[in-house]
Amino acid sequence: MEEPRAGAGHGRALRAAGEGARRGADAASAAAAATPAPLPAPFQVEYQGALLVPGYGDYTFELLDDGGEATLYLDEVEAITVRNGSKQIQRTLPGGFQGLRLVYRADAQPGKLRLSWATPANPTLTAIDPASLYTLPGASNGLVGYYYASPDWSGTPSLIQRDLFILPNNSLREPFSIRWVGKVAAPTAGTYVFGARSDDGSLVAVDGQLVVDNSGSHGSEYREGVIDLSEGFHDIEVKYNELGGSRDMQLWWQPPGGGKTIIPSAYLYPAEDELPAGLVLPPPPTLETPLVAVEPETGAIIETAPPAEPAPEQPAAAAPAVASPLGDFPAVEPAVLWTFGTCGTTEDQLQKPIGVTVDREGNVYIADMVGNRIVKIGPDGQFLAAWGEKGEGPGRFTEVFDLEVTPQGEIAALDAVNQVISLWSPEGEFLRQFGAELTTYRPRGLGIAANGDFIVADTGGARILQADANGQLIQQFGGPEDELGPGQPTDATLSPGGLLFVAEPIAGAFWKVDPSSGRRERFPGPLANTIESPHLAIAPDGRILLTDPEGGRVLALTPDVRPLAQFGTRGAAPGQFGRPVGVAFGPDDVMLVTDPDLCRVTALSTTALSGTP
């Protein structure tokens, strides 16, 4: 995975407990500097989140406590406990996210609490910058990745980092290779299927036994093997090498009684030796830990390609990005108007709905990625029509991903694998297609301007494109060497005022760009893969919706990018989500959200989002 840059998220207290307990204390300020007492003394407060470690090396941590007792946990292992004084430890850490928990037990007269560190780049002890603290669930999970500038895992690693997702990484030039090591949790005893889809080669070994051999120089191929495992934690080693061309790497499994799915990071642990004492096995996957129970098919989670040809017209030179916090989102519960779809292959069922759009009459169009079709339903959620078939020729889909309605009322469909935009009548008549000349690679997001220009999130190309209604490139933003782009943009859209908003899930970033001045502002955004990825919608009044698939929620922001509300929880009931992905505003105060895990689309009222924060 691409390592998110500092400032993409900020730590917040998840829990504050004790006499007179309350929620909402600011972990960043409490952990990094002296803070006023958040509660009447005596009290206990606990801060949880993740620390972004900038790179592999030796780190010194110092915990200073005055007026109580404080304990620092790294990956749930007690690192420092100090009472009315200070104490230091040293740790050798890989780059990436480190689980962090800080517990403070105040006496009758609480005082200072400060967490400092010295890094390889800055050997002087300094209070940890709040921009290095994140509210990232599962930061203690994943595997340790060793990245080699060779095709055969030889030589000294160029990069060592903790990866939450097992994915190809465009930080190295091909040929390169990656070796991931750690533990995999077997929640029950039985026969496990492990699989790998890769382009080029991959190998998976569990407890030292080779289970999957997908090695060699080849295009994207899936292979699997089986192994009997006892309940508990087991060693796992995954190898991947990229020899040239396209990049693809997915790690799959099928636990006993479960569906075949990409292994959730909750079942992977970056421990090369002993696990933390008292670590509890995660439960078998359920709706609370949703899986995509589909066979592995075409499509990489992270898509990278050689940089495309430069645009004929470049935008004004970008100003340095400004990193900004977002703040807290109050929870609301919008009324559910209707839901459409269950998992299946009949005309009123869906297989993997991703993109969604709405026309002026309130008709809803759904991009069913696995079904290779567009599904049309009425404003009341009733099935009306469906069209499309699998293939590479005009009017066919290989991976229909996102949709928009043009000012002329045509339905524009973005195909991420065919890498074209096709135009359809509202009745399903194929009109024309274009986009091959844009030289995109696995584009995942489509937006449209009031004048009919298309905005394309070229995910694998690490950039945003603006093209006219005939597909002629006007300008591009970002790129593989730019700060906007390497985080794998999966959606982009324009506000009524002409501002560009971009979601970058591998970097955990959300951007606001002024195309006229080049000014950029970066906000913390959802972390996710690039298929079940964050998407955007903007209402005519400028309100913004941003899906957070891994968080099981949708974020609503004001036109000036302030938190307005959040809605959704994990579950299968109406108003709950497995992983919300596509989102759209419709007429009559309706918003639509797709859920590929639950194979459905939900229509909700926007009334709950009409207030001000």
Burial of 266 (0-12, 13-18, 19+ CB in 10 A): middle
In order of 204, 339, 535, 577, the CA distances from 574 in angstroms are: 39, 7, 21, 8
Burial of 525 (0-12, 13-18, 19+ CB in 10 A): buried
My answer on whether 72 and 217 are in the same domain is no
- Predicted local distance difference test score (pLDDT) of residue 603: 97
In 3D, which of 377, 373, 369, 372 has the Cα closest to residue 341? 377
My answer on whether 426 and 547 are in the same domain is yes
Backbone angles phi, psi at 202, to 5 degrees: -155, 155
26 or 496: which leads in pLDDT: 496
pLDDT confidence bin for 326, thresholds 50/70/90: low
pLDDT over 70 for what percent of the chain? 85
d(CA 477, CA 396): 29
- Predicted local distance difference test score (pLDDT) of residue 260: 80
Identify the CATH number of the domain in which residue 157 sits: 3.90.182.10
d(CA 462, CA 488): 5
Would you say the C-alpha torsion 88, 89, 92, 93 has a positive or negative sign?
A: negative
Identify the CATH number of the domain in which residue 86 sits: 2.60.120.1560
In 3D, which of 59, 181, 228 has the Cα closest to residue 132? 59
d(CA 90, CA 500): 44
Would you say the C-alpha torsion 66, 69, 74, 78 has a positive or negative sign?
A: positive
Summarize pLDDT for 17-27 with one digit per residue, the tens: 332 222 223 33
- Predicted local distance difference test score (pLDDT) of residue 284: 85
Q: Which of 37-46, 81-90, 373-382, 548-557 has the lowest mean pLDDT?
A: 37-46
My answer on whether 449 and 553 are in the same domain is yes
Number of neighbouring beta carbons within 10 Å of residue 53 = 22
Question: Does position 295 have pLDDT exceeding 50, yes or no?
Answer: no
29 or 253: which leads in pLDDT: 253
- Using the CB atoms, write b or e for 425-463: b if 16+ within 10 Å: ebebeeeebbbeebbbbbbbbbbbbeeebbbbbbbbbbb
Domain assignment present for residue 20? The answer is no
111 or 573: which leads in pLDDT: 573
Question: Does position 314 have pLDDT exceeding 50, yes or no?
Answer: no
124 or 319: which leads in pLDDT: 124
For residues 300-306, give the mean pLDDT: 36
User: If you search the block for the tokens 């509202």, which residue do you land on?
Assistant: 426
Indicate the DSSP class of residue 189: S
Q: How many domains does the chain have?
A: 3
Question: Does position 483 have pLDDT exceeding 70, yes or no?
Answer: yes
For residues 101-123, give the mean pLDDT: 87
Q: Quote the tokens at residue 138.
A: 């599962």
Residues near 329 by beta carbon (within 8 Å), at least 6 away in sequence:
555, 556, 563, 564, 565, 566
- Predicted local distance difference test score (pLDDT) of residue 38: 55
For residues 161-183, give the mean pLDDT: 83
pTM for this predicted structure: 0.56
- Predicted local distance difference test score (pLDDT) of residue 408: 95
Would you say the C-alpha torsion 553, 556, 560, 563 has a positive or negative sign?
A: negative
Q: Quote the tokens at residue 57.
A: 């090396």
Residues near 306 by beta carbon (within 8 Å), at least 6 away in sequence:
none
pLDDT over 90 for what percent of the chain? 52
Question: Euclidean distance between the first and final Cα of the chain, in Å?
Answer: 34
For residues 58-76, give the mean pLDDT: 90
Domain assignment present for residue 513? The answer is yes
Q: Which of 83-97, 271-285, 289-303, 331-345 has the lowest mean pLDDT?
A: 289-303
- Predicted local distance difference test score (pLDDT) of residue 214: 93
My answer on whether 581 and 453 are in the same domain is yes
Beta bridge partners of 214: 202
Question: Does position 316 have pLDDT exceeding 70, yes or no?
Answer: no
In 3D, which of 65, 51, 224 has the Cα closest to residue 139? 51
- Predicted local distance difference test score (pLDDT) of residue 309: 42
Domain assignment present for residue 280? The answer is no
Domain assignment present for residue 279? The answer is no
User: Taking a C-beta distance cutoff of 8 angstroms, is the pair 485, 462 a contact?
Assistant: yes
Domain assignment present for residue 512? The answer is yes
My answer on whether 242 and 117 are in the same domain is no
Range of the domain at 250: 143-269
- Predicted local distance difference test score (pLDDT) of residue 244: 78
Question: Does position 104 have pLDDT exceeding 80, yes or no?
Answer: yes
Backbone angles phi, psi at 121, to 5 degrees: -80, -25
Question: Does position 266 have pLDDT exceeding 80, yes or no?
Answer: yes
One-letter amino acid at 212 equals V
What's the full length of the chain, in residues?
613
In order of 120, 248, 453, the CA distances from 493 in angstroms are: 39, 27, 11
For residues 175-192, give the mean pLDDT: 95
My answer on whether 501 and 587 are in the same domain is yes
Strands (E), 362-418: 364-368, 373-377, 383-387, 400-405, 411-415
My answer on whether 121 and 152 are in the same domain is no
What would you report as the CA-atom Rg of the chain, rounded to the nearest whole angstrom? Answer: 24
SS3 at position 363: coil
Number of neighbouring beta carbons within 10 Å of residue 407 = 11
Question: Does position 88 have pLDDT exceeding 60, yes or no?
Answer: yes
Question: Does position 14 have pLDDT exceeding 60, yes or no?
Answer: no
Question: Does position 609 have pLDDT exceeding 90, yes or no?
Answer: no
Backbone angles phi, psi at 2, to 5 degrees: -70, 135
Among 24-33, 45-54, 370-379, 509-518, top mean pLDDT goes to 370-379
Backbone angles phi, psi at 106, to 5 degrees: -85, 145
H/E element, 491: strand 491-494
My answer on whether 183 and 232 are in the same domain is yes
Identify the CATH number of the domain in which residue 477 sits: 2.120.10.30
Q: How many helices (H) and strands (E) does the chain have?
A: 1, 43
- Predicted local distance difference test score (pLDDT) of residue 12: 30
Question: Does position 307 have pLDDT exceeding 50, yes or no?
Answer: no
- Predicted local distance difference test score (pLDDT) of residue 48: 83
Question: Does position 131 have pLDDT exceeding 90, yes or no?
Answer: no
- Predicted local distance difference test score (pLDDT) of residue 212: 95
Summarize pLDDT for 582-594 with one digit per residue, the tens: 999 999 889 999 9
My answer on whether 477 and 353 are in the same domain is yes
- Predicted local distance difference test score (pLDDT) of residue 530: 86
Domain assignment present for residue 120? The answer is yes
d(CA 435, CA 509): 27
My answer on whether 190 and 222 are in the same domain is yes
- Predicted local distance difference test score (pLDDT) of residue 293: 33
- Predicted local distance difference test score (pLDDT) of residue 310: 40
d(CA 423, CA 420): 10
In 3D, which of 501, 423, 497 has the Cα closest to residue 464? 501
pLDDT confidence bin for 611, thresholds 50/70/90: low
User: Taking a C-beta distance cutoff of 8 angstroms, is the pair 528, 578 a contact?
Assistant: no
Question: Does position 235 have pLDDT exceeding 90, yes or no?
Answer: yes
Domain assignment present for residue 283? The answer is no
Domain assignment present for residue 274? The answer is no
Final residue belonging to a domain, choices 134, 168, 192: 134
Question: Does position 55 have pLDDT exceeding 90, yes or no?
Answer: no
User: If you search the block for the tokens 């982009």, which residue do you land on?
Assistant: 492
pLDDT confidence bin for 422, thresholds 50/70/90: very high
My answer on whether 409 and 548 are in the same domain is yes
d(CA 419, CA 308): 13
Final residue belonging to a domain, choices 111, 134, 157: 134
- Predicted local distance difference test score (pLDDT) of residue 199: 86
| 520-524 and 322-323 strand pairing | parallel
Final residue belonging to a domain, choices 134, 159, 175: 134
In 3D, which of 571, 533, 568, 537 has the Cα closest to residue 550? 533
In order of 330, 524, 595, the CA distances from 563 in angstroms are: 8, 12, 23
My answer on whether 256 and 402 are in the same domain is no
Summarize pLDDT for 26-38 with one digit per residue, the tens: 333 334 333 445 5
**pLDDT mean across residues, the chain:** 83
Question: Does position 177 have pLDDT exceeding 80, yes or no?
Answer: yes
CA angle 135, 235, 210 (to 5 degrees): 125
Backbone angles phi, psi at 380, to 5 degrees: -95, 5
